[in-house]
Chains A and B, each alone.
Chain A
Amino acid sequence: MLKALPSLFPNLLGTPTGARVEFYDKFQREADGYDGDFMKTYAEDLDTTLIFVSTPPYTPRLLC
């Protein structure tokens, strides 16, 4: 009996289905927005750090 049964549960294959594609379409949009903000925030923080760091190297010369 079992050998005669055809493929039963195509949804469990991991193959793209309507629900999967719809989900990942929305996921991609959400991820693009999030990643844009994520990159912008960290890039600004790092730029600020680099600007701040550029001052102290001159201070030891004050005492020489």
Chain B
Amino acid sequence: MNHALLKIVASAALGNIPTGADAAFPQWNGPDSTTVHVQAILYSSLAASLLSAFIAMLGKQWLNRYAWVDMRGSIIDRSRHRQRKMDGMDTWHFDLVMECLPLMLQAALLLLGYALSNYLFSINNVVAGVMVGFTAFGLLFYFLIVSAATLSYNCPFQTPLSLVLRFLIHFDNEHKEYLKRFREWFWHFFSWGTWRQLQPNQGGNHSLGGFGRLDRNDSHTELPTANTFDQPTPLFDKVVDLDEYVMDSNCIAWMFEMSMDKDVIMAIMKFIPEIAWHAGIQTTPLQRVYDTLFECCDKSSGYPIVVPQSRNMAYLSAKALLHLIIQCKSIGDEYMLESISERHLIIGTKQHEDNQELESTLRIINQVLGDPKPIAWHGSSFTATHHAWMGHILLYHTWGVLKKGGVFPNDIKEFIQYSVKLQLPPLAPIVADCFFLIGFLLGISLHQDDLLAVDKRWVNA
């Protein structure tokens, strides 16, 4: 058509005015504008669908990569490697990317419905009406379920779009509060009872605006990532690989989330004291361990007493809890212990005399969490393993007390006397801990890492 128009203009410019059929204005002989418009939308729909297919195929490759065991080694190495991959899935929001696929397909379906409705109107209004009716119904239904899912986290019709909206609303609440102001205006304007019932609950965790608090790590407490207080120069070379402990802590956090099995919980509790919960570990299951310990107690008398059937679990939980508390104190983070200290009830004074290992552990917990009553060691009887573990815990505890400017506790002196006066010679770790404690008593200050040093023959100086 352009060519014909140019030909007419060129002829007119040369003085040859076209006449008859040559002068007729050229007509468009391609598809009409509606068809072009509809085709464009249909191809958009097609492109969205193909893009979904492309991402779906990539998703299959990502899953194959996740399932592929690309590492040889012990079960521990493989498990850590697997946890590293799972952490990567969380960090890079694999689930969100996968949930975007249906979103693209929904957009493609919407474009298809619109294009067909538009096209059918040019052919037959009745047929087009049916198409428009179904498309409008689908749209309205989608709008309603997205609205419901956005307003209520408990709504079962959650979609990726509603999650994105909830995130944006939460983000806005945290920063600009444009939506909050709009909502207040909206609810003020539409103040009917029916509308009121739909108004989101401002205070609940599961309401609009409380989305950010629905964290999978509710049972975990944030640890600081830096140690700021001054310490003396380390005596020993730092040879401990702390990254492995980070992976161990991630595995424990994952297991706590995944399993409620008693055997699994006991295995976790046994494992926690094996880990150095250093400042580089982001989360610690302190709250969860504390709750587990108190689940082993009967509180009907208003005073927590360990149930006899749960003594094994209570002992392991108490050891794990004490280990976590002491290590948190050692890295200078008192903040995370405040919530526990505030609600802590003194447990275990005379109820567990027949189980002195549990009793001693509970007493140290009480003392560390604020009970000023000193611990009497004379007459106690422990297994060598428990004694060695306890000596190490008390070494850390004393280090923490002295670091804050406190005086050397008298019951720790008594512990040293008790340990060296045993009928059977104490194990080497107990002797070493006692030497360290005596060093503290003499005023020798140590770096925190010195307590972790693998082989204490390798002194820097």
Contact = CB atoms under 8 A, between A and B. Distances in A.
A4 B53 CA distance: 67
A39 to B, nearest CB: 6
Main secondary structure of the interface of A (DSSP, over half): helix
Interface in B30-84: 35, 38-39, 42-43, 45-46, 49-50, 52-53, 56-57, 59-60, 63, 66-67, 74-76, 78-79, 82-83
Contacts of B174: none
B358 interface: no
B75 to A, nearest CB: 5
Nearest to A10: B454
A60 B46 contact: yes
Contacts of B42: 59-60, 63
Main secondary structure of the interface of B (DSSP, over half): helix
Given A17-B274, A46-B60, A53-B49, A8 B429 contact: yes
Contacts of A19: 267, 270-271, 273-274
Interface residues of B, number: 68
A60 B108 CA distance: 13
A56 B108 CA distance: 9
Nearest to B392: A9
Interface string A33-64: 01100010011011001101110110110010
Interface in B385-420: 392
Contacts of B267: 19, 22-23, 25-26
B434 to A, nearest CB: 11
Nearest to B48: A56
Given A12-B240, A16-B74, A20-B271, A50 B428 contact: no
Interface of A: 1-9, 11-14, 16-17, 19-28, 30-31, 34-35, 39, 42-43, 45-46, 49-50, 52-54, 56-57, 59-60, 63
